[in-house]
Amino acid sequence: MSFLLPCPNCGPRPVDEFSCAGEVTVRPQGAPSLRELTSYLYFKRNVAGVQREWWCHRLGCEAWFTAERDTRTNEVLSIDVPEPAGPAAPDAPPLPDTPAV
């Protein structure tokens, strides 16, 4: 199935120009247990509905961004370019992980 995905730099483009790196996850903090690491690496939510995913405009500007996409209809609800990781503010929510490429 083909659909248009809006790149933050190039605008709407065919999804064939992009690579999807999967749903956005949050890395376990501190010294995680083996169970926590296994769950983080191998178990995905894989929802039938809206999920936030990492995308790269592989055949274009090569920008990484996140998109909220309905997996049932491929409707893209929003895109976002996360700020680079830096010192976290005390009340800041955890940043999503950068996907392994």
Binding positions for Zn ion, rule: CB under 5 A: 7, 9-10, 57, 60-61
User: Whole-number minimum distance, CB 51 to Zn ion, in Å?
Assistant: 21
CB 7, min distance to Zn ion, A: 3
67: Cα within 13 Å, side-chain hemisphere: 24
Judge whether 69 and 80 are in contact, CB under 8 Å: no
- d(C-alpha 24, C-alpha 64), whole Å: 12
Both tokens of 40, joined, read 């983080």
Distance of alpha carbon 17 from alpha carbon 89, whole angstroms = 36
**Rounded to the nearest whole angstrom, what is the least distance from the CB of residue 48 to Zn ion in the complex?**
28
Q: Return the number of the residue (57 or 69) whose C-beta is nearest Zn ion.
A: 57
Nearer of residues 7 and 76 to Zn ion, judged by Cβ: 7
- Which is closer to Zn ion, CB of 9 or CB of 33? 9
